[in-house]
Structures are given as C-alpha cells and as structure tokens.
Structure 1
C-alpha cells in the first residue's frame, strides 16, 4: 500500500489550495456572527461540538504541524525560529498598524494601544474605543471587537515555541518518536474529557502568564496542540502512514458519525487530520499551483474580520450572511494580495539571511 511519503510531493501538492480554502471558510463562517449576530453555521448539526469556522482553524493547525515539522527536521533552532518569525510577525504588525490608522482616521482613539497590546501575537486588547460597537456583533458582545480572528495566533506561537525547544535539543532528528508520544499525551486529555462528556471539552482554566504571550487557555492549548502534533507526526513518520481511498472513506464516515452523534474530539479529530493530508496528496495536478507562488491565506485570515466588521458597520449584513460574504470578499482579497506582495513575500525573501551577532558570525 502506498504511504504518505510515496504520494506527497513537497513541490507539487494541494497544501496551498487547502490553506486558501480554510481561510475563505473562516470568512464565510464569520458572516453569520458579524453580519446578522448569529452563531457560526454548523453548531446545531454537530451537537455544539464544533462549527464551520472552528473546523477550518483545526485544519490550519494540522497543516501547520505538517509543514513546520519539515523545517524542524533540519535541526537548526535559530533558523527555525527566524523562519517562523518572518511568516507571522511582519504581516501581523502591518495589519495592526493599518487597523489603528483606519481607526484614527474615523475619529476613534486608542489605536496605538491596540498595536502595543497585541504586538507579540497574543490579543490583550480586542477593541479600539467604541469602534464597531454598533455592528451586529458589537451589539451581541456589548463592546468593540476589531479583529477577533487573532485569538488563534497565540496557540500557533506556543506550538512553534514547543517545537523550537525540541529542535534546539536535536530531538526531531535523533528521537522523532517523541513527537507522536507528545501527541498521545495530548490525546489522553481528549479521551478523559470524552469520558466525562463526549460533546463538550472540559474547561481547565488558564496557564501563565507567559512572557509576552500572557495567559493561555489550557483546553485550547491541548486540543489545538494535539492537531498540530498530529500533523507534525505525519511529517516525521510519512513512510509509515498508509494512504488509500478506502482509508479516506472510512475516515470520512468516522468524521461524519462523530459530528452527528458525539465523540468528535476523540474519533473525529484523527479522521479529520487524515482526510486533510489525504486531500493534499490527491488534489488534481492542475491545482497544485494555487497558493504556491502567491499565498494569500494568511492575509485573508488576519484582514477578513476587521473588513467584515467595517462592511457590517455600513449595513452590509442586511441582505443575509451569503450576500454579506460576497460583499466582503473583494476587499478582503485585495487586502490579502497587498499584504502578500508588499509585506509577506518581501520579508520571506530574507529567510536565508539570518541575523546573527558578529562574534558568532566570525566563529562560523
């Protein structure tokens, strides 16, 4: 039977298409709460276990673990951290600055504080003054929320930090088995929760404060960390993971049953991760180029929420969530394209120019 390593080509795959699809799915799902103050679609169908937007975020963590683990295998902790920094922070900083500037131009004070409080990826300030308090979502939460999508970045960064620590110790190369062992530990938490309630994760409070990142939700850290570790384990053991249509069909049935009847986090998570990686390998070759040269997925993710809030401010949700999503899509794609071409791609060109202290450079 063919394995994941046999079917996955690092230079020709569907990962770019999947990232783009997940980012657009988040935009679509947010059209309900931001446009008409209703929950993300899918909660009723899944017994409250998840929804369309959350499922897309889950997919991001699986793909992130799979892609980042490939970099971790090279064993250079400084280079690993530098690449992750370039991928996340320059685009985020420009997004925060643009948002603060737009708020100032519309007469809302507090933009500099918004940039400062969210500068390191953890959201410590959700709003800017009274900006967007009059939108459907603002009235729903009774406050200003400028960019709610940024909540997941702190967990992505925690996953990066954990993997960077392993890289510094040389473990992804010398002891790759440790990654699936960590995944099994996180999975045990999910199993314990499922025994208590198969549809609702157990809230474990916060952990921290960590330097720069502040407090993190332990439940989210365990669940999203498990998905990240599943993706990383798949990368490290791609030669051991069989890839077959029958297994994909079985995973789909397991996922559907867990969504409808409970047990999504225990049974559906691994099935969803398998389907995600399977899809990346079987995407038709004519679609392999999507997102490869021009990756707009991150720009869509960080700009969609504030743009949707702005469209909602002007009454864009009056026609319903789908027309609202259609109204928001062009400006979001424009912002994502500008972010990629003017910020993200230029800074990513620096990934091989790792800044190092002079004495370390001379030592090399």
Structure 2
C-alpha cells in the first residue's frame, strides 16, 4: 500500500506503562481508540508491542500469536474506520542480541518476521517498529519486515542524554535506518521541550524520510522537570512541526490528544510540507552503531585488508592508529562475517568489506550495525556488488 507519509498526520497508540492503565477489556480498548480517532488521530497503532511469540510464551500464551495479533488488528481497524490507517506495532521482542546476550541476529529476525506476517495477514497498512533502545534491534526488525512489502515506521527510544542504550545518537540511528529504506523515522523518550526541539531541528537537516516525534511532556525549570501547560504544549507541538516533524505520536488515551491533533491540522491546512534533505554527490555518509562519518568520496584512504579472527582488538587498533580513514575487512566465509560482528564494537572507524563470496558478503553487511563500503576490487561483478550493497544501505567503492 502506498501511503504519503510526508503528509502531516497524528499517530496514536496504546503502550503498556506509558498510557496509564492498559485497557482491561476489548470494549475499553475500542473505546480508547475511538476517542483517539474522534480527537484527530490519522493513524492508529495496534496494541501488539507485547505480542511477539517470545513474550507471549513467557506470559503463558504460547501458540496464540496469530489469534492475538489478528484480534487486536481487527479491533484497531474498527476504530480507524474506512478512511483511517492502521499501523501494526512491533516492539523489542524480549531477547538480548549477541554479543550482549545469547540470541543471534537471524533468530531475532525470524521472531520479528513471524509477528509481522501475522499483522500483515490481518490487514495492517504499515508497520510501526516501536521504541528500540539499541540500533541493532531496529535494524533487525526493519530487515525482517521489508520482505512483507509494507511501509515501515521505525522509532528509537533515547535516554535523557539523547543516546540509545548501547550508545549512538538519534542522528546516527536516522542515518542508518533511512539507508535501509524505512518510510519514517521516529523519536520517543523522556526529555524536556527545548532539548527535543533542538534535536528535531538537527535531524531535519539530514532526514530523507519523514520524522515522527512524540512531543515532550516537560520543560526544565532550574534542575526540575515541570509538566507542560496546555498552552505550552500547543506552542511546543507547533514548533516541532515547523522545525521538521511531519508525524506526531501520542498515547491514544491522552486527555490532551486534541492539542497535537490541532497542530497537525493547522500545519496541513497552511499547505506546509517538509521535503527530503538534499544530498551532496561529492560526499559519502558512512556510519557504525555509534557515529556517522561524512567523508569526501574521492579522498578516502583505506587500510590494507584485515583477516577476521575471534579477537581482532590489536589489529583494529593498529589500523586506526595508522592514519587511515576506513578500516578494510576481508570476508572470506560466513564464519568471518560472524567473527567481525563480534568485534565490530572495537572498530572506531568506518568499515569497508572486501569479499569474493556473495553469501559471506551479504551476511557481513546484514550483521554490521551501520553503513559500510563494499570494495569494488572484489572478483564479484560490480552489478552484483551494487545489488547487494543497495539491500543493506551500503556503498560500492
């Protein structure tokens, strides 16, 4: 389904722990969604953030994933009506990824895809990947869901310092996820009004996809966070729209939902519309999970190819101290791709993969939590390299 997400819209959803009490019954949930729709919500997000097979199994609901996701989608569709849109919500699935936990990237992809398939079958118009606290989880979900051919709205949760749990900033996450082809990028977190407005203004200068922003609830007064008044919230929502937000996200049960709804309505009525940020053809933007690197394409100096081992700390440090712009990694096998994935957090420069094996290169790019270069000195045809690189947001060099 083709959805114009550059058109200003209000997104409303129900998140346990963020929306007061989670509705105790189907009727209560439907009533809350209907109120959100009446107050101006354009997109309703299904309350399925905790409906992955892993979390349902922990709750004693093993085998009921399809039924639960279908039921919640149908209920949300009922409230959205004929002209409203329904986003299928997927949240962190309850597993910790390697190297911090025991779950592999492909295992987590399978979990996201299984739930996404249920939501797509139930008739959602798009996916909402909610509140990933680390970039690798958002990447994993996006890569899993792309095969289902629906727009993906991907949001990250930031702490009060504006960073993700395992490091990295909103700008870093935006850069990586828009390279993977998300349809919108979202921000959520408990920050104050001025910090959020400053963040949105900075992101808008790099955003090639619409920005979805959850308005702040607070303002700083000295060292204290104070709730925004009705008038302050109105001014804040208007300011977010002016600075670059296209979509505002709010809790469906929020009593002040009409305030952001009015901001969206007025922005659209004035004929205002944000556009993708321009690109510089002479620059290449690379990234890892923590930093972005805006570099001159014609002046990159790559280090010599490094073989992959279980412990690459010393060779990575040597290449970083050698004055190179990019660390070059030789990928000869799927095992090499796995080894580098375990070591990538020690690479404090952008990465270029040199591989003569198509499967190994695909795996290395899939596991790499950033935007990499692909070395054109590979024996693989350039068209093959470009096709593989495009799938993972990489750049053939």
Scaled by the length of structure 2, the TM-score of the pair is 0.25
Name the one with the larger strand percent: 2
- Richer in helix (by share): 1
